Amino acid sequence: MRVLHWLTVLCLVMAASLILLRAELDGRALRQWLLEGHRHFGLMVLLLFVLRVGLRLRLRRLPPGPPASLITRLAAGGTHLAMYGLMLALPLIGWSLSNAFGKTVYLFGVALPNLIEADPDLGDTLGVWHLNAAWALLALVLLHIGAALWHHLVLRDGLLYRVLPGKRA
């Protein structure tokens, strides 16, 4: 699960970086290439989501972490649930957004089926949803990072070692 966590982080960072870079550059071919890269990394987030959820269902629960209050466990669980929901929703909204503007979505050269018919008005709405969902995911990721640092630097409970590369809990 640790490898999947960091692959997901990499894909999210790449998807965000490419689309932000695209907004700052000129040149139609370059902007299209950056958009395709954004789509690929976004779809990789979707594939990793499916793999992570499948493994979680198969392996059941994670080993217990350090003791925490009920409110802390509920906050952590709610944050994780919301992040997972957005990691599912964002790529699907983005895929639908492309389809709404009449664009076929490709993953590694394979055309994916259209999720919706072309509808530019719906595309405008999906664009707003996609952007808002991305900002919401960013806020949750920052909260997640802040909580991990709180555990590591303040509580010193070893929780961060469960996810750091090369470390064993």
The answer as to whether 131 is a domain residue is yes
Domain total of the chain:
1
Residue 110, beta-bridge partner list: 107
Q: Are 44 and 11 in contact (CB under 8 A)?
A: yes
Whole-number pLDDT of residue 167: 59
The answer as to whether 167 is a domain residue is no
Q: What is the CATH number of the domain that holds 115?
A: 1.20.950.20
The answer as to whether 30 is a domain residue is yes
Residues 96-115 have pLDDT tens digits of 999 999 999 999 999 999 99
The answer as to whether 169 is a domain residue is no
Rounded Cα–Cα distance for residues 112 and 106 (Å) = 6
Residues 31-62 have pLDDT tens digits of 999 999 999 999 999 999 999 999 999 988 77
Q: Are 99 and 39 in contact (CB under 8 A)?
A: no
The answer as to whether 140 is a domain residue is yes
The answer as to whether 168 is a domain residue is no
The residue ranking higher by pLDDT, 67 or 26, is 26
The answer as to whether 127 is a domain residue is yes
The answer as to whether 38 is a domain residue is yes
Output the pTM of the full model.
0.92
Which residues constitute the domain of residue 137? 2-61+68-162
Question: Can you list the positions of beta strands (E) in 5-163?
Answer: 106-107, 110-111
Q: pLDDT band at 168, cuts 50/70/90?
A: low
* Helix (H/G/I), strand (E/B), else coil: 107: strand
Residue 107, beta-bridge partner list: 110
Rounded Cα–Cα distance for residues 31 and 78 (Å) = 36
Rounded Cα–Cα distance for residues 27 and 34 (Å) = 11
